[in-house]
C-alpha cells in the first residue's frame, strides 16, 4: 500500500499491528497557486525560496525549457504554517488570498492576472518520517511504504519502493 501515511493508518484501522507506527508519521499540507499574467509582465527572478514567508517557494513556470508562451506564468507554494491555517478554505478563497501575495512579490498588480487557480495538497511534505523504508505485516502479505517512510522527496519514494520490491522478491524467490 503506497498511500499517504494518514490514509494508510485510517485504512488499516486502530486495531492493526502497523497502525501506531504509521500514525506517528507527520505530513504537512501545501497550498499551491498557479497564476498567469500578460506576456511582458515583471519577471524579477526565475525562482526563490523564503521559508519564513507565507509564500515559501515561487517559480516562474514559463522560464523552464519548452514552456515559453504568450503568458508569464507562476507557481507559488505556501508555507506549511500558512497552508495548515487555510487548509479547509475553498480553492477559490485560497487563490484569492495567495494571488495578492504573489503579485506583491513579483511587482505586478493582482488585477492583471489572467488566470489564478489553487490546489490543495493535504499530504505534501513529510516533516516526521517513519525512519525505515517500509513496513510489513507479520505474515508478509501486506507491505506499506512511500516517501513518508524516509523523507519528503521523490527519492525517498523511490528508495521505499525498491526496498519493498527487494523484500518481496527475497521472500517469494521470484520477480
- Report the alpha-carbon distance of residue 22 to residue 134 in Å, rounded: 10
Q: What is the pTM of this model?
A: 0.85
Per-residue pLDDT tens for 134-168?
Answer: 999 999 999 999 999 999 899 999 999 999 999 99
Per-residue pLDDT band for 61 (boundaries 50, 70, 90) equals: confident
Check residue 110 and give its pLDDT: 97
| Domain ranges within the chain, ordered by starting residue | 5-25+129-172, 28-126
What is the maximum span of the chain, computed from C-alpha positions, in angstroms?
62
Check residue 88 and give its pLDDT: 98
- Report the alpha-carbon distance of residue 1 to residue 141 in Å, rounded: 11
Per-residue pLDDT tens for 79-138?
Answer: 999 999 999 999 999 999 999 999 999 999 999 999 999 999 999 999 999 999 999 999
Per-residue pLDDT tens for 4-17?
Answer: 999 999 999 999 99
- Report the alpha-carbon distance of residue 31 to residue 94 in Å, rounded: 8
Check residue 94 and give its pLDDT: 99
The residues, ordered by sequence, that sit 6+ positions from 166 with a Cβ below 8 Å of its Cβ are none
Question: Per mean pLDDT, which range of 36-40, 74-78, 127-131 is the poorest?
Answer: 36-40
- Report the alpha-carbon distance of residue 130 to residue 78 in Å, rounded: 24
Q: Which residue has the higher pLDDT, 39 or 33?
A: 33
CATH fold, domain 28-126, is Polyamine Oxidase; Chain A, domain 2 (3.90.660)
Amino acid at each position: 500500500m503506497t498511500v499517504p501515511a494518514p490514509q494508510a493508518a485510517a485504512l488499516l484501522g486502530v486495531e492493526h499491528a502497523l497502525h501506531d507506527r504509521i500514525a506517528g508519521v507527520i505530513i504537512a499540507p501545501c497550498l499551491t497557486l498557479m497564476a498567469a499574467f500578460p506576456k511582458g509582465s515583471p519577471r524579477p527572478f526565475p525562482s526563490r525560496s523564503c521559508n519564513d514567508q507565507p509564500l515559501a517557494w515561487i517559480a516562474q513556470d514559463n522560464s523552464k525549457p519548452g514552456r515559453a508562451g504568450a503568458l508569464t506564468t507562476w507557481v507559488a507554494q505556501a508555507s506549511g504554517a500558512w497552508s495548515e491555517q487555510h487548509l479547509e478554505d475553498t480553492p477559490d478563497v485560497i487563490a484569492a488570498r495567495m494571488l495578492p501575495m504573489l503579485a506583491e512579490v513579483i511587482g505586478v498588480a493582482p488585477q492583471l492576472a489572467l488566470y489564478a487557480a489553487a490546489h490543495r495538497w493535504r499530504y505534501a511534505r513529510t516533516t516526521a518520517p517513519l525512519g525505515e523504508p517500509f513496513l510489513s505485516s507479520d505474515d508478509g502479505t501486506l507491505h506499506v511504504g512511500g516517501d513518508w517512510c524516509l523523507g519528503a522527496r521523490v527519492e525517498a519514494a523511490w528508495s521505499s519502493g525498491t526496498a519493498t520490491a527487494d523484500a518481496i522478491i527475497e521472500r517469494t524467490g521470484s520477480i
